């Protein structure tokens, strides 16, 4: 009986340990000021094939801002964190080509993690990856026919906003941020983000938007959670 009590106590303590020594960083990102209007992608509508897939007007998603200023597609990470990649065992990240557009426009993954690029369109695309020169990641350019298998990629080096593009349809491009640790997020359309299981301690959070720039803020993860809101400004 006494042995059973000890075992039960030890098990409960072990289950509670991660929550005790780690927490989630959550927050909301907003944009202050009026951003320039996103340009319309007229080439998509004019394309003989893509124009049939998408009937509504399409705009470049440079600024995806909610009614309350919520800013999407902000890459949030812990500054100066490195060398803790769990990408090899992580679930694959996914990008899809649908309606002659990349979805999502901005995504993030770890080094060594698999990225699946899908083609959900009834026509061919090419997936041209153009890392920043000197980043350590290698360029690639692969054809992806309609109905073809998912393309798989992995990257060995961290890099912010590595571009993926289709040269058949010049308006199609998206960005993938690669980090060598699991502490990152991309804000959603409601502006919120969550970085999970961050070990307790003080950190500098770095949030980067492709057009609005970079904002940093200090945060301390204690008592299993931390919350911080970030504000970008356009003038």
Partner 1 sequence: MTPTTEPRGLQRFAVLTAVATLFLISVGGMVTSHGAGMAVPDWPNTYGYNMFFFPFSSWIGGIFYEHSHRLAGSFVGLLTLIQAAWFYGKRSRPVLKWIGAALLLGGIVVALTSPKQWQDAVVIHASGAVALAAGFFWPRSEPQPLWLRRLALLALGLVILQGVLGGLRVTLFKDEIGIFHATLAQLFFVLAGALALFTSRTWRRTGEEAKPCPHATNLRSLYAAVSALVLVQLILGATMRHQHAGLAVPDFPLAYGKLWPATDAAAVAGYNRARLETTAMNDITSTQIVVHMAHRLTAVAVALAIGACWWLTRRKLAAGHPLRRATCLWLALVLAQFTLGAWTVWSNKAADVATLHVVIGALTLLTGAMLTLLAFRCLPRFRELPEALQISPQSQRI
Residue 1, burial from CB neighbour count under 10 angstroms (0-12, 13-18, 19+)? exposed
Cα separations (Å) of 160 from 75, 157, 174? 9, 10, 12
**Closer residue to partner 1, CB minimum distance, 62 or 201:** 62
What's the count of helices (H) and strands (E) in the chain, helices before strands? 3, 17
Does 19 contact partner 1 by CB under 8 A? Answer: no
| Chain-centre distance for alpha carbon 151 | 18
Does 206 contact partner 1 by CB under 8 A? Answer: no
**Closer residue to partner 1, CB minimum distance, 150 or 197:** 150
Return the residue of 26, 54, 154, 171 that touches partner 1, per CB under 8 A: 171
Which has the closest alpha carbon to 113: 128, 94, 130? 94
Query: Please, how many CA atoms are within 13 Å of residue 222, restricted to the half-sphere of its CB?
Result: 4
Residue 122, burial from CB neighbour count under 10 angstroms (0-12, 13-18, 19+)? exposed
Name the segment binding partner 1 (CB under 8 A); options: 71-79, 88-96, 122-130, 223-231.
122-130
Return the residue of 32, 79, 84, 211 that touches partner 1, per CB under 8 A: 211
Return the residue of 68, 122, 136, 139 that touches partner 1, per CB under 8 A: 139
Instruction: Give dist(CA 216, CA 188) in Å, integer.
Output: 18
**Closest approach of Cβ 14 to partner 1, in Å?**
48
Return the residue of 74, 78, 106, 172 that touches partner 1, per CB under 8 A: 172
Pairing type for strands 201-209 and 75-78 reads: antiparallel
Does 233 contact partner 1 by CB under 8 A? Answer: no
Does 60 contact partner 1 by CB under 8 A? Answer: yes
Return the residue of 92, 99, 154, 173 that touches partner 1, per CB under 8 A: 173
The residue written with tokens 């199609």 in the block is 172
Q: x/- site string to partner 1, residues 22 to 41, per CB under 8 A?
A: --------------x-xxxx
Q: Which residues bind partner 1 (CB under 8 A)?
A: 36, 38-43, 47-50, 60, 62, 123-124, 126, 128, 130, 139, 141-143, 145, 163, 165, 167-173, 210-213
């Amino acid at each position: 009986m006494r042995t059973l009590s000890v075992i039960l106590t030890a098990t409960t303590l072990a289950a509670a340990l991660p929550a005790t020594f780690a927490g989630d960083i959550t927050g909301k990102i907003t944009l202050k000021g009026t951003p320039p209007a996103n340009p319309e992608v007229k080439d998509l509508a004019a394309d003989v094939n893509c124009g049939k897939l998408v009937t509504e007007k399409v705009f470049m998603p440079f600024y995806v801002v909610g009614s309350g200023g919520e800013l999407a597609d902000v890459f949030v990470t812990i500054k100066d964190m490195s060398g803790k990649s769990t990408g090899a065992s992580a679930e694959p990240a996914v990008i899809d080509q649908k309606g002659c557009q990349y979805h999502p426009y901005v995504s993030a993954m770890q080094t060594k993690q698999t990225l699946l690029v899908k083609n959900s369109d009834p026509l061919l695309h090419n997936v041209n990856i153009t890392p920043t020169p000197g980043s350590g990641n290698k360029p690639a350019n692969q054809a992806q026919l309609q109905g073809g298998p998912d393309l798989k990629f992995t990257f060995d080096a961290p890099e912010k906003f590595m571009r993926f593009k289709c040269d058949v349809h010049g308006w199609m491009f998206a960005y993938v941020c690669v980090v060598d640790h699991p502490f990152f997020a991309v804000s959603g359309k409601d502006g919120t983000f969550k970085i999970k299981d961050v070990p307790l301690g003080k950190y500098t959070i770095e949030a980067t938007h492709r057009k609005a720039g970079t904002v940093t803020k200090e945060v301390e993860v204690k008592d299993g959670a931390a919350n911080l809101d970030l504000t970008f400004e356009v003038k």
